[in-house]
Amino acid sequence: MSAASGNGTATRYREGLWRARPGGTQVGSLVFWRTHAGAEVDLLIVDGRRIHPIEIKLGAAVDPRSLAGLRQCMADLSLKRGFVITTGEERRSIGKAIEILLWRSVARGEPDIG
C-alpha cells in the first residue's frame, strides 16, 4: 500500500467520503493503493482488519474494463467486495463483488460500506 495522495479531484472525494460517515465518526484510515506495475485504487478504507477498496469515477458511466486496478487490489489483498463511487443516477452491481455507489448517497452517509 502506498500513502501517495493521488490526483486533486480524487483527494477531494476522499475527504468528502471521510466526513460523510454516519454521525460524523471517523474510523480507521484512508490510503491510496498502487502496485509496482502501476495498478491502482483511489482509496482503501482500513478499519482494523477490515479493508474496503473504493474506486472513484468522476463520470456517470463505468466501463468494467476500467476497473482492472480494483480487481487486482481485491485479488492481491483477498477482498470479497469492492466499491465504485460515481456521479451516476443508478446504484447497481458489476458482477458479484463490485458495487456501484452514487456520490450523492455516499455524501449523505446512506450506503453501508462496512
Domain boundaries, the chain: 8-107
pTM: 0.75
What residue type is assigned to position 42 of the chain?
Answer: D
Under the banding of pLDDT at 50, 70 and 90, the label for residue 49 is: confident
pLDDT, residue 5, reads 41
Give the number of other CB atoms < 10 A from CB of residue 10: 19
**pLDDT digit string, tens, across residues 8-34:** 555 555 555 555 444 545 556 888 889
CB contact set of 60 (below 8 Å; sequence gap of 6+) = 86, 87, 88, 89
Query: Which residue type sits at 9?
Result: T
Q: Give the mean model confidence (pLDDT) for residues 103-109.
A: 81
| Pair 57, 67: CB distance under 8 Å | no
Bridge partners for 55 per DSSP: 84
- Whole-number Å distance between alpha carbons of 38 and 114: 27
pLDDT at position 12 is 57
How is domain 8-107 classified at the architecture level of CATH?
3-Layer(aba) Sandwich (3.40)
